[in-house]
Amino acid sequence: MSLTLYLADWFRRLSPFTGTTLPHVATYTRELPVSMARMYENAIDGDHLPWLHRETFTDMTISESDNTGWRGQGYLQPRSFTTWMELELRLDRENHRWITTTTRGLGKGSQVITHAIPLAENRIKVVVDFYVPKLPKALHKMYGKQLVDTYTRLYDQDLEMMRTRQRALDIAASAQPDSNPARIVLGNRTGLDSQLPLQFELAGRPYRLVRIGDKLVAHASTCPHRLGPLQDAKVVDGQVECPWHGYRFNVISGECTSGQHGQLPLAPVISIDNDEVVASSEENV
Ligand code: FES
Ligand SMILES: [Fe+2]
């Protein structure tokens, strides 16, 4: 957030003026190639804010959440005592909309009302209206531009997340474990290290081969929480961290090590056969 905007927000919050209506300062619209189901899921998922949108939010804790919304407290980037805020989102499925209110801190009293309009099975349009109380008319344009720029970035990231999740759901729905080979040669033992980490598929499911110490290990490259992508996650201390909500998993045991419930799906067993590295489904070993 720019210094000018921050000062404008304080000026607004300290202003004695109280209007009866919330001034509308900007609208952001965008067509998105996703279903309403993916969009609603994204809206009521407050936990992704400090992970997927880490350049915008930090140290955000979701203190309440259910299938109608959430309430969370945290900071806008860059973190300082001046950028703390509390947000609340309420989903109104009947009217295809959700309202995000800043209930405390920076931006207090502001509301963002998003309408989602279904255009086709996997295509929607969002119309996002920004309302900021007590903001002088002269500042609407500057304030509105900052909000639209921020939401453009947030929706770029949300779109990537929703499309990746839809692809993962489609793969899971169409995977035919018995109709594909349950054994695959990944390469020659001597040349393989230069290709690590190596992504591969077995029985239609994505995995990744990594080296942990002197062992070659395969792990599922889809997160069991909401099917987030693990194929590019760095392996640190034998663990991978999902970029969507920060769940961490032990690559060898699959166990969730960040305190939530969850376990990586069973991965293929890696063995050496005639100097070749082979991945096999557990039941066939
Ligand atoms: S999808 Fe949520 S932590 Fe991976
Ligand atoms: Fe988001």
**pLDDT string in tens for the chain (285-residue length):** 566 667 777 766 676 655 557 899 999 999 999 999 999 999 999 999 999 999 999 999 999 999 999 999 999 999 999 999 999 999 999 999 999 999 999 999 999 999 999 999 999 999 999 999 888 889 999 999 999 999 999 999 999 999 999 999 998 888 766 655 589 999 999 889 999 999 999 988 899 999 999 999 999 999 999 999 999 999 999 999 999 999 999 999 999 999 999 999 999 999 999 999 999 986 544
**Measured CA angle at 105 (ends 103, 108), to 5 deg:** 50
Pocket perturbation via mutation, ligand 1, pick of 45, 221, 226, 230 by most ligand atoms within 8 A of CB: 226
Is the Cβ–Cβ distance between 90 and 114 less than 8 Å?
no
Residue 270 confidence (pLDDT): 96
Give residue 282's pLDDT.
64
Ligand 2 centre from 283 Cα, in Å? Answer: 39
CA of 229 to the centre of ligand 2 (A): 16
Distance of CA 260 from the midpoint of ligand 1 (Å): 10
pLDDT at 8: 72
pLDDT the model gives residue 72: 98
Homologous superfamily in CATH for domain 183-284 = Rieske [2Fe-2S] iron-sulphur domain (2.102.10.10)
Cα R_g (the chain), whole angstroms: 23
- How far is Cα 28 from Cα 77, in angstroms, rounded to an integer? 21
Nearest atom within ligand 1 for CA of residue 260: 3
The CATH class, in words, for 3-173 is alpha beta
The reply to whether ligand 1 has any atom less than 6 angstroms from the CB of 247 is: yes
Q: Where are the domains of the chain?
A: 3-173, 183-284
Distance CA 113, CA 81 (A): 27
Q: What is the pLDDT of residue 3?
A: 66
**183-284 matches 3-173 in CATH topology:** no
Q: Please tell me the total number of residues recorded for the chain in this structure.
A: 285
